[in-house]
Amino acid sequence: MTVLILAEHDGKQIKKATRQAVTAAAAWNAPIHLVVLGHELQAVTAEAAAIAGVSEVICVDAPALAHALAEDVAALLLDLAPKYQVILAPYSAAAKNALPRVAALLDVAMISDVISISAPATYIRPTYAGSVLTTVESSDAVQVLTVRASSFDAAANGPAANIVDHAALAALSSQNQARFVSATHTISDRPELASARVVVTGGRPLETRFDAILNPLAAKLGAAIGATRAAVDAGFAPNDLQVGQTGTVVAPELYIAAGVSGAAQHLAGMKDSKVIVAINLDPDAAIFQVADFGLVADLFEAVPELTAALVAE
Amino acid sequence: MKVLVAVKRVVDYNIRPRIKADGSDVDIAGVKMSINPFDEIAIEEALRLKERGVVTEIVAVTIGTAACQDVLRHALAMGADRVILLESDLELQPLGVAKLLKAIVDKEQPGLIILGKQAIDDDAGQTGQMLAALMHAGQGAFASSITVADGEAVVVREVDGGTETVALKLPAVITADLRLNEPRFVKLPNLMMAKKKPIETIAASDLGVNAEPRLKLLKAAEPAERKAGIKVANVAELVSKLREAGAI
Ligand SMILES: Cc1cc2nc3c(=O)[nH]c(=O)nc-3n(C[C@H](O)[C@H](O)[C@H](O)COP(=O)(O)OP(=O)(O)OC[C@H]3O[C@@H](n4cnc5c(N)ncnc54)[C@H](O)[C@@H]3O)c2cc1C
């Protein structure tokens, strides 16, 4: 038996989520191969090959994969699939897009957002916005799953793995189905939300002062910034900052929620954070039920005060 | 062009689910059920495409027991032209649903299929992509904008760290993200009118599709509660607690 992991990277670096997926894959006690798809992958491939526990890195490098479409990723994984009994990836936008396609073409079920692998085909995954943990067993010959990266430790570096070049399928399958047009990426010097050590999240009350209030605190803490759906919907923060059931799931060392009510859909995305701080005017806000340290206060005063207190250290 | 919209009946998002005493599943008996919020966004988008003259007919389909008629009535009240209930009492999982929807696609031949990006009960987020795979069609998952022109659907997709735009040859499958639109409010007279409209019912078992569940649910449990924390009196106390905890 061999496990194949679809590596997550940004074209320059392997993402931490890939290392966390490697730890998840260790549950099978089987050889682990990584597949890296994209273009100009030398640096990424070398980094992937250094991850402990990985015995082979399959590099699929082609200009057409610089912005890989789900149709192509699925076709390439399907091409590799006959050698593997497990195909997994971190629960990212790219994998959520491509892996169900792979599963359907293999005629197997897919298991999304696995937080624990209790036995080789038995998984625990959250449902109902994290209000329920379900244990499911798959009887399919090939297991296709995504894993919640933050539920697993990141694998460190170890002995170098074999690197194998795999040619992109001669005619990428997407060509008569879909075409890449453009991409916009938020440019930020802050750490990536999904893997940041500290996250500072703002809710709807921040309104147009969202950045003015949160940026200084985030800068001081080296934190990523998150937002509630209400803040995003109202246009105070970009959508890729949304933390929650239908946004990004985070589990940082420190999570600071300012003006966040604590709806179940939001808690689903952050309640595994190590230390949670809530700043809210309403002493009965649901967020206080999960906060280690709750401060009943007006965030417009408390957040700048906290920022200043940290500066003074 | 005809649009097919797939909708699911789920536990209302405001309800905190209860687990059966034996831990075998979530107990939905007597619980308020609603249309999956993302599917409502999918219907709204179909309506807007129709209002823009791109779409001529909107067909909403759901799979499940007769109880699922209520979400089809909701779709009709929003403005769907026609609805189909694929009647089944199987435990439906994404692959089975995708296969059944594929059978309906073959029958109806829509130019576009729109679904919600995920159902808020199982939170799987797979059905649209699986349907696209079975159709060998292009997919635009997590759409925040759709324009249709010259036999293509141009979809802006929400991805980690930004957006991506793809052009899909029709027929294509699109899944709706939250920012795609804000669903219209259903007015009571429309709901009354929708009660009188016909619901086409097809026995799922007649479609020659194996939609048996593949995953066995072994257990449903509540996650461990976080230990209750403390309230601090002021920022100074917060800072000292955070320092004690090693968080800063
Ligand atoms: C299908 C679906 C999916 C969803 N997915 C998500 C998701 O992924 N992520 C998510 O976050 N939400 C999600 N939601 C929305 C969620 O249900 C809540 O509506 C949302 O989280 C509320 O955001 P909020 O706390 O910013 O706003 P509000 O509910 O408006 O709460 C604001 C809070 O700030 C406090 N406040 C006000 N003024 C101040 C002040 N000056 N100082 C301090 N505190 C103040 C108030 O007491 C209140 O508690 C989803 C909803 C649905 C239906």
Closest Cα to residue B139, out of B174, B114, B106? B174
Distance from CA of B69 to the nearest CA of A (A): 22
What is the C-alpha to C-alpha distance for residues A104 and A110, in angstroms, rounded to an integer?
8
- Chain B residue at shortest CA distance from A278: B231
pLDDT tens-place string over residues B73-107: 999 999 999 999 999 999 999 999 999 999 999 99
pLDDT over 80 (residue A175): no
The finding on whether A227 has its CB within 6 A of some atom of ligand 1 is no
B13 contacts chain A (CB < 8 A): yes
DSSP assignment of A52-88 equals: TTEEEEEEEE-GGGTT--HHHHHHHHHHHGGG-SEEE
Residue A311 is predicted with a pLDDT of 72
- Lookup: tokens for B175: 């899944």
- Lookup: tokens for B40: 């409502």
DSSP B15: S
Which of B179, B226, B237, B243 to probe the A interface (max A CBs under 10 A)?
Answer: B226
Burial of B199 from C-beta contacts in 10 A (0-12 / 13-18 / 19+): middle
pLDDT over 90 (residue A135): yes
Residue B107: CATH number of its domain: 3.40.50.620
- The number of distinct structural domains making up chain B is 1
A127 contacts chain B (CB < 8 A): yes
* Domain-wise residue ranges, chain A: 3-165, 198-309
Which residue owns the Cα nearest ligand 1 atom 49?
A261
The finding on whether A206 has its CB within 6 A of some atom of ligand 1 is no
- Chain B residue at shortest CA distance from A138: B215
pLDDT tens-place string over residues B101-154: 999 999 999 999 999 999 999 999 999 999 999 999 999 999 999 999 999 999
pLDDT over 90 (residue A290): yes
What class is the A3-165 domain? Answer: alpha beta
**Three-state SS for B235?**
helix
Distance from CA of B126 to the nearest CA of A (A): 5
- Lookup: tokens for A299: 């965030």
Distance from CA of B215 to the nearest CA of A (A): 5
pLDDT tens-place string over residues A50-69: 999 999 999 999 998 999 99
Ligand 1 atom closest to the CA of B38, numbered from 1: 1
CB contact under 8 A, A177 and B136: yes
pLDDT over 90 (residue A312): no
CB contact under 8 A, A180 and B13: no
Q: What is the mean pLDDT of residues B6-30?
A: 97
Q: Show the domain range for B116.
A: 2-245
Q: What is the ipTM of this complex?
A: 0.96
Which residue owns the Cα nearest ligand 1 atom 34?
A259
What is the C-alpha to C-alpha distance for residues B219 and A39, in angstroms, rounded to an integer?
43
Q: Does domain A198-309 match CATH 3.40.50.1220?
A: yes
What is the C-alpha to C-alpha distance for residues A192 and B183, in angstroms, rounded to an integer?
31
Which of B16, B25, B40, B129 to probe the A interface (max A CBs under 10 A)?
Answer: B129
Mutate which of B10, B39, B120, B181 for ligand 1 pocket (most atoms within 8 A of beta carbon) = B120
Q: What are phi and psi for residue B123, nearest 5 degrees?
A: 50, 35
Q: What are phi and psi for residue B25, nearest 5 degrees?
A: -175, 180
Q: How far apart are the first and last CA of chain B?
A: 58
